[in-house]
């Protein structure tokens, strides 16, 4: 069913062009978010810090998403959605340019935090707009299409940005990402229909409803924990490939490409699985993630043999992302804007948590393979939270029946 409080919209230049514009924003965000992992050694060298310290730029971005998603959703609940999307993309472009101009480590960390602020709200509002443009039967596919921009970014944008950072310097990578964001803002202005604000909705009311929604908080917790396994390994993929796998630096873009291809396959698959069971897809993807991260730990020293494992890790992760978004939109009730935005806040808690815990184990001397085992534990914990939410929801339904 369409998002609560979102009437069916008609795109002025066609449904496909509207989804392409929304996906373009996802492409810009996906390129920026994930390319940092690919150029992490260059960033560390450029600002004169260790690789674990440079990874704090990843955590700072994730923290920006966590802070920005509820704040922007709170103040933007009544704003016209097209205008909000354009503003978010424009701000995203500007903060990328600030990252490129950062004079040192601390200004870079701050600019990465600022760049994360529009992220969660963009994906939340874009998902609501996509759902409003689609028929009920195509709702899952429409939301998956928005996420597909993020996935395609990992096939084209991130490997290209990684190569650019290696050849020209990491600053050029953020300059290119800023240009992509500004282009996406222009596409949204052209292809997305006018979406008037909901005058009967306020950030205060949405926040009040959301705070009391126990199911929504459990889904957020499951995402914040369970998705962390992907980032535990992805944050350190460059040194894992070169120092553990024994491959040259030129191999890193290919492993980043494998991450992206996994997302491209997993995202539309998630949309199809949603037609079967959103919750069942979440459990299957969570269990599968734990198992494949065990394989990652075993295969990491064997060079190119790690490539298909990397692909599978992100394919399963993409199923989690899309179906967590749908599950949260379903349980958020009337707090649609806040609920949709908070999904990416939880996923970026996972980003920060995975990168941080992986860095802790590396710094403690357990080696570059250790983040994979951290990821196994996070995946298991995420599945446990999902199962607990299922039990709680079942009991709630049983109590409500006469």
The model's pLDDT over 375-388, given as tens digits with 9 standing for 90+, comes to 999 999 999 999 99
Instruction: Tell me the C-alpha to C-alpha distance, in Å, between residue 272 and each of 18, 95, 222, 230.
Output: 21, 35, 21, 22
Residue 208: Cβ within 10 Å count: 11
Q: Is residue 1 part of a domain?
A: no
Q: Which of 92-96, 113-117, 192-196 has the lowest mean pLDDT?
A: 192-196
pLDDT band for 1, please (50, 70, 90 cuts): very low
CA atoms within 13 A on the CB side of 270: 34
Distance separating alpha carbons of residues 297 and 176, to the nearest angstrom = 34
The model's pLDDT over 163-193, given as tens digits with 9 standing for 90+, comes to 898 889 889 999 999 999 999 999 999 888 8
Q: Which structural domain range is residue 43 located in?
A: 15-397
| Alpha-carbon dihedral angle through residues 158, 162, 165, 171, given to the nearest 10 degrees | 30
Q: Is residue 204 part of a domain?
A: yes
* DSSP letter (8 states) at residue 168: T
Residue 95 has pLDDT above 80, yes or no: yes
Q: Is residue 391 part of a domain?
A: yes
Q: Which two tokens stand for residue 141?
A: 């596919």
How many domains, in total, are found in the chain? 1
The model's pLDDT over 306-336, given as tens digits with 9 standing for 90+, comes to 999 999 998 998 888 888 878 887 777 666 6
Distance separating alpha carbons of residues 132 and 152, to the nearest angstrom = 23
Residue 2 has pLDDT above 50, yes or no: no
Q: What backbone phi and psi angles, to 5 degrees, belong to 351?
A: -55, -55
Q: Which of 76-80, 255-259, 272-276, 394-398 has the lowest mean pLDDT?
A: 394-398
Q: Are 225 and 348 in contact (CB under 8 A)?
A: no
Task: Specify the pLDDT at position 77.
Answer: 67
Distance separating alpha carbons of residues 260 and 269, to the nearest angstrom = 14
The per-residue pLDDT of the chain, averaged, comes to 84
The model's pLDDT over 268-305, given as tens digits with 9 standing for 90+, comes to 888 788 778 888 999 999 999 999 999 999 999 999 99
Distance separating alpha carbons of residues 4 and 184, to the nearest angstrom = 26
Distance separating alpha carbons of residues 326 and 12, to the nearest angstrom = 26
- pTM of structure: 0.71
Distance separating alpha carbons of residues 146 and 19, to the nearest angstrom = 7
Q: Is residue 52 part of a domain?
A: yes
Q: Which two tokens stand for residue 348?
A: 């970026």
Which CATH number covers residue 192? 1.20.1250.20
Q: How far apart are the first and last CA of the chain?
A: 26
Reference 120, options 342, 307, 332, 310; nearest CA is: 342
Reference 180, options 209, 203, 149; nearest CA is: 149
Q: What backbone phi and psi angles, to 5 degrees, belong to 39?
A: -110, 20
Distance separating alpha carbons of residues 89 and 25, to the nearest angstrom = 7
């Amino acid at each position: 069913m369409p998002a609560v409080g979102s009437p069916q919209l008609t795109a002025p230049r066609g449904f496909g062009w509207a989804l392409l514009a929304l996906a373009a924003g996802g492409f810009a965000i996906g390129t920026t978010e994930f390319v940092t992992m690919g150029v992490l050694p260059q960033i560390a060298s450029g600002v004169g810090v260790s690789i674990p310290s440079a990874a704090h730029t990843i955590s700072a971005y994730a923290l920006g998403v966590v802070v920005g998603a509820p704040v922007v959703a709170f103040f933007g609940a009544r704003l016209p959605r097209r205008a909000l999307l354009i503003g978010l993309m424009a701000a995203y472009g500007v903060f990328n340019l600030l990252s490129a101009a950062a004079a040192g480590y601390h200004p870079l960390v701050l600019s990465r935090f600022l760049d994360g602020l529009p992220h969660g709200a963009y994906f939340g509002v874009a998902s609501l707009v996509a759902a409003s443009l689609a028929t009920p039967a195509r709702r899952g596919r429409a939301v998956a299409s928005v996420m597909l921009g993020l996935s395609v970014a990992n096939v084209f944008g991130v490997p290209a940005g990684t190569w650019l950072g290696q050849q020209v310097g990491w600053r050029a990578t953020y300059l290119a990402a800023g240009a992509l964001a500004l282009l996406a803002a222009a596409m949204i202005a052209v292809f997305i229909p006018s979406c008037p604000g909901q005058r009967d909705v306020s950030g205060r009311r949405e926040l009040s409803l959301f705070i009391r929604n126990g199911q929504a908080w459990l889904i957020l917790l499951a995402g914040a924990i369970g998705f962390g396994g992907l980032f535990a390994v992805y944050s350190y993929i460059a040194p894992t490939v070169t120092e553990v796998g024994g491959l040259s630096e030129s191999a890193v873009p290919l492993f980043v490409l494998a991450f992206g291809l996994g997302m491209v396959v997993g995202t539309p698959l998630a949309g199809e699985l949603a037609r079967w069971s959103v919750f069942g897809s979440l459990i299957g993807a969570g269990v599968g993630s734990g198992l494949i991260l065990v394989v990652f730990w075993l295969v990491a020293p064997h060079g190119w043999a790690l490539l298909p494992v990397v692909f599978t890790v992100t394919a399963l992760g993409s199923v989690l992302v899309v179906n967590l978004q749908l599950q949260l939109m379903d349980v958020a009730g009337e707090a649609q804007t806040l609920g949709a935005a908070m999904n990416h806040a939880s996923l970026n808690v996972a980003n920060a948590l995975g990168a941080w815990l992986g860095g802790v184990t590396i710094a403690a001397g357990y080696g570059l393979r250790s983040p994979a085992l951290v990821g196994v534990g996070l995946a298991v914990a995420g599945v446990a939270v999902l199962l607990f939410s299922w039990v709680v929801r079942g009991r709630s339904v049983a109590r409500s029946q006469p």
